């Protein structure tokens, strides 16, 4: 087996007589057994990329292969290796949870008893046994996502595509889903994940490409991307909130290149290039007689990475592009 399990080269896909370039020359290589993250705001082209890689859409130009098979020339081969979980849960609402999974098992060629056993096994693994015979339309959002994920796993796919799997989920369901994804990867599944949550890519992905307007604007491991932005963020939390202004002026004395400390009302943060600043901060805060609850040096978040690469925050664009994405359906 090759190292590169999912490969794309110069993928282009346009919609609406070529006016909308949803994919504008995407290159990416995902290695087997890892989580590969496609990160970008709404309308960046993530879903289109997933649809091309799952053979639902033909690219206008460029090529892509999954497990060594070209998505255009051997789509059945590719379909036999992938599991797809869409942006909105694609479960059949008028079937029960177990009927949904049984149907997929039958479609994949399992005999009735094997399909039934597989359904039971997955319902158990995804904590849906109690709701097994209830109609999926009665499920909560989190339960639907779990059933959708279970449905994409019936055939034990080598490659699992998760298109914004946690969009719209509450924090607890999101954490649960993350745990399930990690367990699958530990079992050897290769996961292609799209997300607009920078934190999610940071937590789950081994490698990330950041895409915007159908182009790759950055690629690498989460750590590499953070290093690209450069430096660190120094954060101090005074024990007494009254000391906030004093803390801010102490940190200001450490600032370089016109950077200024900023506060959210509890923490004072400062972007720095030189990690020796931490020691100086300890000394100067002590000299100023300020007691701190917390003093830390951290890497910038992916939010800050996105801001540094594109010059705008991911959220700024989300609203404007939502319309565009919708009209494409």
Partner 1 sequence: MSTATATLSPVGKSDVIRNTLTIARRNLLHIKATPEQLVEMSIQPLMFLVLFVYVFGGAIANSSREYLQFALPGILVQSVAFLPFTTALALNVDFQRGVIDRFRSLPIARSAVIGGRILADGARVAWSILIITGFAVLLGFRFQGGAAGALGAFVLVTAFGLTMCWPMAFIGITARTTESVNTWGFLIILPLTFASTAFVPAATMPGWLQAFVKANPVTSVIDSARGLLLGGAVATPVVKALIWMVVIQAVFAPLAIARYRRRV
CB of 80 to partner 1, least distance (A): 4
Nearest to 191 by CA among 170, 172, 177, 175: 177
SS3 assignment for 167-225: CCCCHHHHHHHHHHHHHHHHCCCEEEEEECCHHHHHHHCCEEEEEECCEEEEEECHHHH
107 lines the binding site for partner 1 (CB under 8 A): yes
On whether the CB atoms of residues 43 and 328 are closer than 8 A, the answer is no
**Least Å from the CB of residue 6 to partner 1:** 15
Q: Which stretch binds partner 1 (CB under 8 A): 52-60, 165-173, 215-223, 304-312?
A: 52-60
Q: Quick check: 103 binds partner 1 (CB under 8 A)?
A: yes
Please, which residue, 81 or 236, has the CB nearer to partner 1?
81
Question: What residues between 79 and 98 interact with partner 1 by CB under 8 A?
Answer: 79-84, 86-95
Single out the segment in contact with partner 1 by CB under 8 A; choices: 151-159, 246-254, 296-304, 313-321. Answer: 151-159
Strand order in the sheet with 20-31: 20-31, 4-15, 61-66, 69-70
Decide if residue 185 touches partner 1 (CB under 8 A).
no
Query: What's the rounded Cα separation, in Å, for the pair 280 and 259?
Result: 17
Count of other CB atoms within 10 angstroms of residue 233: 17
Residue closer to partner 1 by CB (options 71, 272) is: 71
106 binds partner 1 (CB under 8 A): yes
57 binds partner 1, rule: CB under 8 A: yes
Contact call for residue 59 and partner 1 (CB under 8 A): no
Binding-site member from 2, 3, 137, 260 for partner 1 (CB under 8 A): 137
Within 8 A by CB and 6+ apart from 38, the residues are 28, 46, 49, 50, 192, 193, 194, 195, 208, 209, 211
Of these, 99, 259, 304, 321, which contacts partner 1 (CB under 8 A)?
A: 99
Our CB check for partner 1 shows the closer of 88 and 262 to be 88
Judge contact between 135 and 143, C-beta under 8 A: no
Question: Where do the DSSP E strands lie in the chain?
Answer: 4-15, 20-31, 35-39, 61-66, 69-70, 82-85, 159-163, 190-195, 207-212, 215-220, 232-238, 262-263, 268-272, 292-298
Q: Is 151 in the site for partner 1 (CB under 8 A)?
A: yes
- Closer CB to partner 1, 181 or 204, in the complex: 181
Query: Residue 20 interacts with partner 1 (CB under 8 A)?
Result: no
**Are 5 and 159 in contact, with CB atoms under 8 Å apart?**
yes
Contact status: 158 vs partner 1 (CB under 8 A) = yes
Cβ atoms of 288 and 246 within 8 Å: the answer is: yes
DSSP state of 130: G
Beta-carbon count within 10 A of 56 CB: 15
Smallest distance, partner 1 to C-beta of residue 280, A:
51
In terms of CB distance, is 44 or 208 closer to partner 1? 44
Decide whether 58 or 312 has the Cβ nearer to partner 1. 58
Is 155 an interacting residue with respect to partner 1 (CB under 8 A)?
A: yes
In this structure, what token pair is assigned to residue 177? 């889903």
141 binds partner 1 (CB under 8 A): no
Residues that bind partner 1 (CB under 8 A): 51, 54-57, 67, 76-77, 79-84, 86-95, 99, 103-104, 106-109, 121-122, 125, 135, 137, 151-153, 155-158, 183-184, 187-189, 328-329
């Amino acid at each position: 087996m090759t190292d590169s399990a999912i490969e794309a080269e110069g993928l282009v896909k346009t919609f609406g007589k070529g006016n909308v370039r949803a994919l504008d020359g995407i290159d990416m290589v995902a290695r087997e057994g890892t989580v590969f993250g496609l990160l970008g705001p709404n309308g960046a082209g993530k879903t289109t990329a997933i649809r091309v890689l799952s053979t639902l859409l033909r690219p206008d130009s460029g090529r892509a292969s999954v497990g060594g098979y070209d998505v255009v020339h051997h789509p059945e081969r590719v379909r036999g290796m992938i599991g797809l979980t869409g942006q909105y849960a694609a479960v059949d609402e008028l079937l029960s949870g177990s009927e949904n999974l049984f149907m997929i098992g039958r479609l994949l060629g399992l005999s009735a008893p094997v399909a039934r056993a597989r359904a039971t096994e997955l319902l158990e693994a995804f904590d849906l046994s109690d709701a097994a015979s209830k109609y999926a339309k009665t499920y909560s959002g989190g339960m639907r996502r779990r059933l959708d994920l279970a449905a994409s796993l019936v055939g034990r796919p080598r490659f699992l595509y998760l298109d914004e799997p946690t969009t719209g989920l509450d924090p607890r369901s999101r954490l649960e889903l993350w745990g399930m994804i990690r367990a699958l990867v530990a079992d050897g599944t290769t996961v292609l994940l799209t997300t607009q949550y920078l934190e999610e890519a940071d937590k789950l992905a081994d490698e990330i490409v950041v895409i915007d307007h159908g182009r790759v604007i950055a690629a690498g491991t989460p750590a590499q991307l953070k290093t690209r932005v450069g430096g660190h963020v120094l954060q101090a939390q005074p024990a007494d909130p009254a000391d906030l202004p004093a803390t801010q002026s102490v940190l200001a004395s450490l600032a370089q290149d016109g950077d200024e400390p900023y506060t959210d009302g509890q923490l004072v943060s400062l972007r720095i290039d030189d990690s020796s600043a931490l020691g100086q901060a300890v000394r100067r805060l002590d000299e100023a007689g300020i007691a701190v609850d917390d003093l830390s040096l951290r890497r910038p978040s992916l939010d800050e990475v996105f801001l540094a690469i594109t010059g705008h925050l991911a959220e700024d664009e989300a609203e404007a592009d939502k319309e565009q994405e919708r009209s494409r359906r």
